[in-house]
Amino acid sequence: MTAFPPAGFPLAGFVANALGPGPTPELIAAITGNGLRPEQRLSIHRNATRIGLSEALAAHYPAIQRLVGEEFFAALAGRFIEAHPPRTPVLAEWGGELGDFLADFPPAAGLPYLPDVARLEWAINEVLHEADATPLDTDTLGGTLGNLAPGVLPRVRLAVHPAHRTLASPWPVARIVAANRGEGWAERWIEDDSATISLDEGPDHLLILRPEMDVAVLPVGAPGLALIQALAAGMPLGAALAEASPDNADPARLLGRLLGSRVIVGVSL
């Protein structure tokens, strides 16, 4: 009996070949045995693979599935699988292109917030699988920075937690995702989960962070988002604050909010 994938067909190539418009003659020729024609065996594996991948995609994007319904999501998943078959066996790493895919998916054009909902759900998935790190608490971080000479502080570099992502959206995607991911999510992010969500509530500027075990989605404002992105890019604190608040509106307040976010894991010069 032929193993799947057959010898000579790496996993990525086999999946793309089997899920594409039609298998190549080379793949058909490599499948033998078990009392079935190669096309029949391949059809069985094709269907099983599609079902498994669709279920994996739904596990990454429960809010998307709830927003569009199971039937629509199944059709969406089928199109996405054809366009973006897995390249590795690790399905936790597969599916991140769904946000961009939805942006160019005509059947979803009536729900313009869906791409950013997908991007937020993927960010949650990514931080769940990122490396652990111990965040500096407010007192420790504030004390460390407070003990530095004024001329040294702008040159300090703050290491940002590896399990973080940032997202800017014109839509209130945090509330949309929280209200549609299932039991327990709404209570984490929004104060009144019974209130109707208005699309006019946006924009959202979000820090997606897993400081320890649980994921938090924090509204940090446009300057806060810019500050975190600048620090993550390796900028020293002074330059990062200037990047985030070029008009020098309130750098002390901006820094204070950063200290309380638990996104900083180290201080260096």
Q: Model confidence over 161-204: pLDDT tens digits?
A: 999 999 999 999 999 999 998 766 655 665 555 568 899 988 99
Q: Same domain, yes or no, for 152 and 45?
A: no
Q: How does residue 17 score in pLDDT terms, banded at 50, 70 and 90?
A: low
Residue 40 lies in a domain: yes
Contacts of 5 (CB under 8 A, 6+ apart): 11, 13, 14, 15
The total domain count for the chain is 2
Q: Same domain, yes or no, for 18 and 93?
A: yes
pLDDT digits (tens, 9 = 90+) for 61-76: 999 999 999 999 999 9
Q: How many CB atoms neighbour CB 99 within 10 A? A: 21
Q: Same domain, yes or no, for 97 and 143?
A: no
Q: Indicate the residue among 111, 130, 160 that finishes a domain.
A: 111
Give me the domain span that covers residue 145.
138-268
Q: Same domain, yes or no, for 16 and 71?
A: yes
Q: Same domain, yes or no, for 105 and 221?
A: no
Q: Same domain, yes or no, for 151 and 104?
A: no
Residue 122 lies in a domain: no
Residue 119 lies in a domain: no
DSSP one-letter code for 93: G
CA dihedral sign of residues 94, 163, 121, 119: negative
Provide the mean pLDDT of the chain: 85
Q: Same domain, yes or no, for 146 and 94?
A: no
Residue 152 lies in a domain: yes
- Cα–Cα distance between 39 and 47 in angstroms, integer? 12
Q: Same domain, yes or no, for 104 and 163?
A: no
| Dihedral (Cα; 190, 194, 195, 201), 10-degree rounding | 30
Q: How many CB atoms neighbour CB 8 within 10 A? A: 10
With a cut of 50, say whether residue 256 has pLDDT above it: yes
With a cut of 90, say whether residue 60 has pLDDT above it: yes
- β pairing state of 264-268 and 216-219: unpaired
Q: List phi, psi (to 5°) of 227.
A: -65, -45
